Amino acid sequence: MFSLLKGIWTVLKHSIRKRETVLYPEEKPLRYPRWRGRIILSRDPDGSERCVACYLCAAACPVDCISLQATQDKQGRRYPEFFRINFSRCIFCGFCEEACPTYAIQLTNDFEMGEYYRHNFVYEKEHLLISGPGKYPDYNFYRVAGISIGEKNKGESENEKPPVDIHSLMP
Amino acid sequence: MGEPIRSIIILIAVLVGVLAIAAGLIWLERRMLGLWQDRYGPNRAGPFGSLQVAADMIKIFTKEDWIPPFADKPVFVIAPAIIVVTTLLSFAIIPFAPGIEIVNLNIGLLFFLAMSSLSVYSVALAGWASDNKYSLLGGLRAAAQMLGYEVFMGLSLVGVVMLAGSFSLREIVEAQRKVWFVIPQFLGFVIFLIAGLAETRRIPFDLPEAENELVAGYHTEYSGMKFGMFFVGEYIGVTLISALIATLFFGGWLGPLLPPLLWMMIKTFFFICGFILVRASLPRLRYDQLLSFGWKLMLPLSLLNIVVTGAIILAAS
Amino acid sequence: MATIFIDNAPYQVQDGQNLLSACLSLGFNIPYFCWHPAMHAVGACRMCAVKQFRDENDARGSIVMSCMTPAADGTRISIDDNDVREFRAGVIEFLMLNHPHDCPVCDEGGECHLQDMTVMSGHVYRRYRFKKRTYLNQNLGPFINHEMNRCIQCYRCVRFYRDYAGGRDFNVFGIHDRIYFGRCSDGTLENEFSGNLVEVCPTGVFTDKTLRKHYTRKWDMQTAPSICPHCGLGCNIIVGERYGSVRRILNRYNHEVNGYFLCDRGRFGYEFVNGDCRVRQPLVRHTSKSLDVSSLEPIEKKEVLQYLAKMMTSSERVIGLGSPRATLEANFSLRSLVGPENFYVGMSEPELKMVLQIIEILSNGPAYSPSLRDVEQCDAVLILGEDVTNIAPRLALSLRQSVRQKPMEIAERLKIPRWADAAVRQAVQSERGPLFILSPMATKLDDIATKTLLAPPDDIARLGFQIAHEINPEAQPVLDLSENLRELAVSIAAALKQASLPLVVSGTSCGSVPVINAAANVAWALCTQGKKTGLCYTVPECNSLGLGLMGGLNIRDCFEKIMTGSAGTLIILENDLYRRAEAQTIEAVLQKCKNVVVIDHILSRTAREADVVLPSGTFTETTGSLVNSEGRCQRQFRVIPPTGEVQEGHHWLLDIMTSIGRSDVNQISSLESVGELMAKEFPIFKPLVEIAPRADFREFGQKIPRQPHRYSGRTAMLADISVHEPKPPDDPESPLSFSMEGYQGIPPAPLIQRFWTPGWNSCQAVNKFQSEIDGPLVGGDPGRRLIGLLNGNELVFFSEIPQTYEPRDGEWLVVSISNIFGSEELSSLAPAISERVPEPYVGLNPEDANSLGKKDGEKLLLSINGISKSLPVRVITSLQPGIIALPIGLSGLEGIALPAWGKVLENRNG
């Protein structure tokens, strides 16, 4: 009984407390670097697309709002033919960023993406792709992977020996 | 000659006033809750968000007025009207100030009790007509709860009636010139306060619409202005109970310096704020707690109150 | 049965197998790489280590390779012991030392046995900090992509390619830690089964090049069980679909039919489904009078049905022409639409005659029709007139296994278990069981044959009859046979009589009924000797036998009826007439018909000349039943959701029936009602409704989803068209759904839409679907044999022996050559396959080429039945003098009935 009154009293005391609300459009909230906002596709330090269309982001997405198709150029470098995120379904969970083996897909600080029409939330690759490496300035997947991609041949990746001469029988 | 015109003016003034207060409460409650929860509440429409009511009205009137195909149509339509009508009718007997009242019934208090009993039909019928399991459960809960609390609500007022010697609210106010009945009838006041909360189905007695278990209880299937009427009905109810507490226990319009009408309004407003404060701070009861609290504690207490009051009156006379 | 103890719990297992397969059969997970259920154990990878204990008191135990240890009674092992777990983790760490950081761009990723086994063994972090070894890749042709860096040296690829499939152009090179699996130099892999390397390789060294063009992960593919349409064997396949196009074909294990392997035609022939050759909208001929040209114009479905209804009601006669590449249901619907008297089987006269003869022989004779599995078990084989590798390729792979049966005696004598593959091969060396090939020219199986005889079809038949006579003197002898052929017949007969499970293979490709009869005589003669004898016939198309069972008249009869009777409407179901008869006749017939309606999925030459073309579904868009050459009736399920106006052939026929207001339309309104009606009309089709669960079948109240549980992009794949996701299409005709919701466990065998179980993402998950390793699928293999054994009839040997082949002056016997890539209509439309299709040519014996003064590549003008063709010469040494070989089915060479007598005309070029 008295606990009830005490509760009421505690609430009443809040009449003179400072308000916690941030009045958003006038006052911008503080966003930390790991804030999970609008998704982008970054480029590697050479300036070419980082995404290798491995489909892992799409598989990790709990609302299945990422869809893409892999293709490759003549040299064998794989990239997405199209890459679509339906932001009207996205829940900004960041699983895609976690799943991405190449740091291509990243969540940014921008969250102000209101639209009047739902179809405007469908972002294609040209809307997603930025011109820089985003949060990870140094990583370049194709410098680590074993496949050859034209400008980089077999044995030229980091931590690789030159290709084996299979005709040699030397021990 | 002037009498009927005067009553019509008062009638219209009371109707408009009460509805305006109910509408204002929509804004006020959200503002107050915001205040106690360290937020702002509505603050975008108009100064301090005061035009929120207008915005809400526009919204609620332009919403699709959906009647589910499986509902019992006439009952479904009538149910929300009943609650508004019965609570508004109760205002007929409230003396706001000397001369400002619609009727001075000598059985005014009984009339109030009758009306508030009728309002249970609204909720029960709404739950029934919706043909939805959650609505029906909400309706049943409401019926059981209001039946239970109705009983000792009436009994808690017997002490007041005994002290004033009348059922007429004006005479009850007049009888408090010496001392507000809250002092001799403190127990009655507490019981009436609790019963009033239960009658308006507000937290902590909002089991009929317990949204975490029953979706929205008896008004699950309601939308648009029909839902709005339940809403308005609830706020009118809050106003009514506050006005009654002021009238029955806190000397109605009586007070120094200020005009009587203002005193009445101040007292009513105070209790409205009290209702909101209770909502801001208390959790919802469990259903079995609610009923056993009513029948096993409040009913004996109110009976005890009658006996003690009667004994004291007898002893004093 | 033997009792073995695994981690101290007793289990009953089959005797004579190794511990690995015993444990996998029991449902335990043991990692492995080099072991393959069909290729058995060599103990190369050291992954499947377990700890073996001498007895219950032995606490120390010793680590053994489970694949190399027999599951003998009383064996005690531990899978979970800490020592073995560490051992396996160490092995996988070594195997992964040089494995590249490729998984995101590797086509195997997500269905990689190496990934699965690495996770299973608990290796997560590469501690080795030195540089990785790299290799250069090779271009292995249009089918297979090579990425040697990923290799873990398990040797499965060479073991499959060389030992199992008999390929010669692929091997292991190098020494030390520089082992290399590939060809001597860049070039196309020649073997017809190279596609299986994709599934055999536990990692991403060999991947599907056609899939690479439109790469999709396994978890993103909508898959359904289907039947390969590219030959008569009816191999079980899994078709994968994404974004409305077919992405790849995978093998669907069926113990009785194709086991673990497919041929390249079946695996890579699917691409025609996505091609430009498809019809995707109804077309109607519009004739512009002023210009006197007419063209096919697209039209709405509703309009075309109205148009057809008007057409059908105004013409007095409607004739239907079925197709051996359409489903039973579609053919039967056509038969119901036009009436049995107006229904014609869409096969040419000789073809239908042969198919009916085969059905007659298989259903009334004592020899059984063997499944491919049975073929593998046979220990003596006689092939009469078939180039099996090019006609029914998967059968050739089974025959390659059958020659290993006899030499197993050697291994058994030495007490080497069958599964110890390396030891068995050491013991057997080049020893092979008897395989005799009688064929008009050299075949791809000659390298394993005991004896081959090159002879024209009639002589093959004669030798066959003589062999039968040598086995059972009751059979008619061939009197005027040369001495050496008689001796050959005696030796073949002796070898067959010695065998415990002899097999006779023949088929339709010689175009000769006597050859088929001779094969029956041999098989029956063996049966009279108390042998369980297999008689295996190849048929030209995926439903030839099914259509034959339905019966009817051939194309020639159909043409006659049209030419003699009044003009009417001709409905052609999924059939290109130009592949079955001469162009002149067809043109005349199509002219005579008032209206020609073609229901087909490709715009064939016939379709281009039709008045109305209705787009039907390919095998990927059709639910229906097919009967394979064994007589096995199997169900295929559509995998592409219904989009646009393409629909199954039988749905078009149903729509036509509805639009003309036929009252009996309800009888064929669903696949099941068609099946029931067929069973009523033809009792032999009674099992048709039972070959797969009915459409109302539910597992735990749910449908079987075609999409895996991790199907991605559901809310984005169509968002560019409309952001509101559409409802998934219904599939009222099957228990499968176009959704990821439903029962994701192991479904009944005919509905297996993918091989996946938790922890087993690769196709090796098939282990979990089998009732025992390398045994039937859980719940029995799909399909029902329609042709049974009817032993009641008195056995009567065939006695019409053809005359021996005599070279004619100025005339040449033209026989057909089949090509695995090119002879079949649909697969040759696939880009990858078409790269392997040869240019049309004419095959000549070197002597004849000399006498005609022709060299390789020079043109020769040839006239057969009044059709003349000028073709480049290819000298084929194995051809008999006086015989010309023509690659049938290549573009420009369709519709010629062979064998036939042809003339070499004066050649203007030379």
Q: What is the pLDDT of residues A26-48, one digit of tens each?
A: 888 888 888 999 999 999 999 99
Chain B within 8 Å of A168 (Cβ-Cβ)?
A: no
φ and ψ of B183, to 5 deg:
-80, -55
Q: Would you kindly state where each structural domain of chain C is located, as residue ranges? A: 2-95, 367-532, 812-904
On whether ipTM exceeds 0.85, the answer is yes
pLDDT of residue C678: 92
Write out chain C residues lying below 8 Å of A119, CB-based.
719, 722-723
Q: Residues of chain C whose pLDDT is less than 70?
A: 289-292, 789-793, 906-910
CATH domain C812-904 topology: Barwin-like endoglucanases (2.40.40)
* Burial class of residue C434, CB neighbours in 10 A (0-12, 13-18, 19+): buried
pLDDT of residue C792: 56
Whose CA is closest to B249, among B194, B301, B172? B172
Using the predicted structure, report yes or no on whether residue B236 has a pLDDT greater than 70: yes
The minimum CA-CA distance between C719 and chain A, rounded to whole Å, is 7
φ and ψ of B251, to 5 deg:
75, 20
pLDDT of residue C93: 94
Q: Do chains C and A touch (3 or more CB pairs under 8 A)?
A: yes
CATH domain C367-532 topology: Dimethylsulfoxide Reductase; domain 2 (3.40.228)
pLDDT of residue C231: 93
pLDDT of residue A25: 86
The minimum CA-CA distance between A27 and chain B, rounded to whole Å, is 14
Cα distances (Å, whole numbers) of residue C115 to C103, C150, C208, C248, C824:
9, 12, 18, 21, 38
In this complex, do A89 and C716 lie within 8 Å of one another by their Cβ atoms? yes
Instruction: Give the residue, B252 or C192, on which the prediction is more confident.
Output: C192
Which of A4, A7, A20 has the CB atom closest to B38's CB atom? A20
Both tokens assigned to C487: 């001796």
| Residue-level length of chain C | 910
| Residue of B32, B281, B285, B301 to mutate for A, most A C-beta atoms under 10 A | B281
pLDDT of residue C910: 43
Both tokens assigned to C449: 């044959």
Using the predicted structure, report yes or no on whether residue B146 has a pLDDT greater than 90: no
DSSP C834: H
Chain A within 8 Å of C185 (Cβ-Cβ)?
A: no
In this complex, do A21 and B281 lie within 8 Å of one another by their Cβ atoms? no
pLDDT of residue C790: 57
Per-residue pLDDT in tens (0 to 9) along chain A, 171 residues: 788 888 888 888 888 888 888 888 888 888 888 899 999 999 999 999 999 999 999 999 999 999 999 999 988 899 999 999 999 999 999 999 999 999 999 999 998 899 999 999 999 999 999 999 999 989 999 999 989 888 889 988 888 999 998 888 777
pLDDT of residue C742: 92
Quick: pLDDT tens for A122-146.
999 999 999 999 999 899 999 999 8
In this complex, do A52 and C101 lie within 8 Å of one another by their Cβ atoms? no
Q: Do chains B and C touch (3 or more CB pairs under 8 A)?
A: no
Both tokens assigned to C68: 């190399």
User: Letter for the amino acid at C201?
Assistant: C
Instruction: Give me the residues of A, 54-113, that contact C with CB < 8 A.
Output: 54-56, 58-59, 61, 63-72, 78, 84-86, 88-89, 101-102
In this complex, do C722 and A70 lie within 8 Å of one another by their Cβ atoms? no
Write out chain A residues lying below 8 Å of C176, CB-based.
171
pLDDT of residue C909: 47
| Cis preceding linkage at C899, omega within 30 | yes
CB A19 within 8 A of CB B39: yes
Task: Identify the band that residue B249 occupies on the pLDDT scale cut at 50, 70 and 90.
Answer: confident
| Residue-level length of chain A | 171
Element (H, E) at C10: strand C9-13
Chain B residues whose C-beta sits inside 8 Å of any chain A C-beta: 34-40, 43, 277-278, 280-282
In this structure, CATH architecture of domain C2-95:
Roll (3.10)
The CATH label, of 3.90.1150.10, 3.20.20.140, 3.30.70.3270, 3.40.50.1220, for the domain at A31-143 is 3.30.70.3270
State percent of chain C over pLDDT 70. Answer: 98
Instruction: State the CB neighbour count (10 A cutoff) for residue A101.
Output: 17
Both tokens assigned to C785: 């044999």
Q: Which residue intervals of C660-729 are DSSP H helices?
A: 671-681
Instruction: State the CB neighbour count (10 A cutoff) for residue C855.
Output: 11
The minimum CA-CA distance between C282 and chain A, rounded to whole Å, is 30
pLDDT of residue C853: 84
Segment B168-173 mean pLDDT: 84
pLDDT of residue C907: 54
In this complex, do A19 and B38 lie within 8 Å of one another by their Cβ atoms? yes
